[in-house]
Chain A
Amino acid sequence: MDIFIQQILNGLSIASVITLIAIGVTLIFGLTGIINFAHGEFLMIGGIVTWLAVSAGLGFPLAVVLAILAVGLMGYILERGLFRFTLERPTNGFIVSLGLIVVLQHVVVLFWNPNQKSIPRPLTTVWEVGGVRIASVRVMVIAITIAVVALSFRMITASRYGRALRASVEDRDTAALMGIPVRRYITGVFVLGSALAGLGGALLIALFPITPFTGGTMVMKGFAVALIGGLGNIYGAVAAGLILGIVEGFSAGYGFSQWTDAYSFALMILVLIVRPHGLFGGTSGPRMAS
């Protein structure tokens, strides 16, 4: 029985990192229509910044804050510099993000070599409850993710800013006519999504070593979860993140372990065919203002 609980716990910690990415993707892709496939590299750079900060002697909490700020700033620069011009043609935004994947990965390789980077675990205590080992660092990751989910959920749905944001998704022109500064909101969402990726990267390197190429595999799972949950639907992203985390945890634990990566792709293809707007219903990206 303890093994079963242990696998659920494992699934939870996988799910939390994937969910953090998925929320970033679902916010950016769902609410601004920018398909940023380099979101995985934003995550990786969050991890690298944390690694640099910790190896420079800073404490982990400060390093995490630095990671969030750094990646948020990077998001701002890239949105203002590049993605702003591709809003009318999302496919161009997608192609730009492909270029970004290659650039960001190899800039990190150029400066800090392609090898694995890791930081000493911020929390090392491991509790043992009835045969189930609970690592405090994983509990921290899960707790932070829950807090972030609650915060962004409230902000997107409950606050004035959130409602205006969702209006600008339904119809950008009408929202603009109603005095909603659509451009500023899109930048805001992009920076928020990027900051989330920075946080995700910091938490990821707290759990395991990363390489400049770690972003690639992670982003596909993030997109799969965002699409399964329904674009722009945070509730969907959280639910789908949990489902996928548990499925991967159990497939690795009980099923055919070598097929673990296949599930997220197969699930995504199935869901998109049956329900193109995701299990919990989301936008399919904003209507083009054509």
Chain B
Amino acid sequence: MKTVLKMGASAALCLGVLAHPAFAEDNIVKIGVVAAESGSFVSAGHTLPAGVGLAVKQINDAGGINVGGKNYKLEMVKRDDRTDIATAIAATQELVRDVKVQAIFGSETHDFTLAMAKITQPAKIIHFAGNSTLAKILTPDSVKPGGEDHYLFQSEPQEFQRSGSTARGVLTLLEPLLGYKPKKSVMIVGNDATGQFLSSYYFKALKAEGQDVPDIIFYPPDTTDFSPFLTRAKSLNPDIIHFWYNGDSTLTALPQALELGAAKSYFLFGVDPGIWKEKQLSADVPVAMSCVPVCWGESSNPKAKAYFDAYFAAGAPHGVTSSVSLLYHDYVHFLAEAWEKAGSFDPDKTVEALLTLHHQGVVSDDLTFNPTHQVTHATEVCAAAPGGAISCSMQQPPAEAPKS
């Protein structure tokens, strides 16, 4: 019985090989995606493959890419990490060693990316991740050739830049709606990996803008009743309460804040005007919102509307984090351009090309990576007046990190 099986299998293989050359000139370049399409982090997980998938489709529709004189079509190979680190590791091992992808995008969960990098980097696979928390491992000597993160790229601005531009945007947009210059801010942040990391930068950014920030209030990640935290914030009678970073928790906390009249205005990080409109949210005080990197409900970025129309048309769900897809979409195009410029898929030549190119993306017309493989671009902040009118503007990041 066994031998028969063996014969059948090998026959099929030969046929496969024979069939293959018929499409010789359209070789396939595989791009891997690891994201949480189930489990607790699912809200961020759906956006990543949708963003990459749209870029791959656009590139293939335009005839694919021409590398070293040969034409290639891209193929996205996506894996669900189920918000479980062991599954993320297994998916990465498969993509790197079995499927042999040329590049990997993901994941949205900070500590999964760190574990995945330990597999992609030794295998010289270009790895893009939209976690500003990668700053911890992207140091000058870790990214130099031969370093342990030479092929790792952070497709989200450095945290001091994102926080700086966000803080500046929130304050400038809320001032006209408040009718006076806000002076005191209180931050309410989820007590998890991302929350702890981001809040230290945003706190410094607010201080750099001259804000008095008497308290950062950390709440346990799965909190539903925010009233004690909000009352504590109210006791400091702040001009603005800044909610960081999880959209779902923020939307749970806002009605309770309005009920308590905790502050004169609010800032909801990671809540898109699109969600604000869709859920018909309203507030009797000004509310600022920011999107990473560009908003889909309302945007001052001309290309954003076209992108999101195509993005949602492709079937992606309207989510709190739909804009996160842009942290990956632009960089598929960027990578394709780098391959064409390098004229080969050799990882080192590709990294060189990525570091020298100025790519025209949706988020900005001049996307470049700095020497430590981190991108720099503006962040969009919007503000909703009590009446409901929403205005947005792109905020340029500060040149370098604030002192102290």
Chain A residues with CB under 8 Å of chain B are: 3, 6-7, 10-11, 13-14, 114-116, 118, 121, 126, 128, 133, 135, 204, 207-211, 213-214, 217, 248-254, 257-258, 260-261
Contact = CB atoms under 8 A, between A and B. Distances in A.
Given A115-B43, A258-B219, A7 B255 contact: no
B232 A214 contact: no
Q: Is the interface of B mostly helix, strand, loop or mixed?
A: helix
A42 to B, nearest CB: 17
A258 B235 contact: no
B220 interface: yes
B219 A3 contact: no
Given A7-B231, A114-B42, A133-B259, A214 B224 contact: yes
A249 B228 contact: yes
B34 to A, nearest CB: 19
Contact of A135 (B43, B217, B259): B259
B385 to A, nearest CB: 21
B300 interface: no
Interface in B196-223: 217-220, 222-223
21 contacts: A3-B234, A6-B260, A7-B231, A10-B227, A10-B228, A14-B228, A116-B251, A121-B255, A133-B259, A133-B260, A133-B261, A207-B224, A208-B224, A208-B225, A209-B248, A209-B252, A248-B228, A252-B228, A253-B229, A258-B219, A260-B220
A258 B232 contact: no
Given A115-B43, A116-B252, A257 B225 contact: no
B191 interface: yes
A116 B248 contact: yes
A209 B251 contact: yes
**Max chain B Cβ within 10 angstroms of own Cβ: one of A10, A121, A135, A249:** A10
B227 A258 contact: no
Q: Is the interface of A mostly helix, strand, loop or mixed?
A: helix
Given A10-B225, A251-B228, 7 more contacts: A7-B231, A14-B225, A118-B252, A126-B259, A128-B261, A208-B252, A261-B220
Contacts of A261: 220
A180 B259 CA distance: 51
Interface residues of B, number: 28
A257 B229 contact: yes
Nearest to B223: A260
A251 B219 CA distance: 11
Nearest 9 CB-CB pairings of A with B: A252-B228, A10-B227, A258-B218, A208-B224, A3-B235, A253-B228, A258-B191, A253-B232, A249-B228
Contact of B222 (A118, A217, A252): A217
Contacts of B227: 10, 13-14, 249
Contacts of A258: 191, 218-220
Contacts of A209: 224, 248, 251-252
A31 to B, nearest CB: 29
Given A3-B231, A116-B248, A252-B229, A210 B259 contact: no
Contacts of B219: 252, 257-258, 260
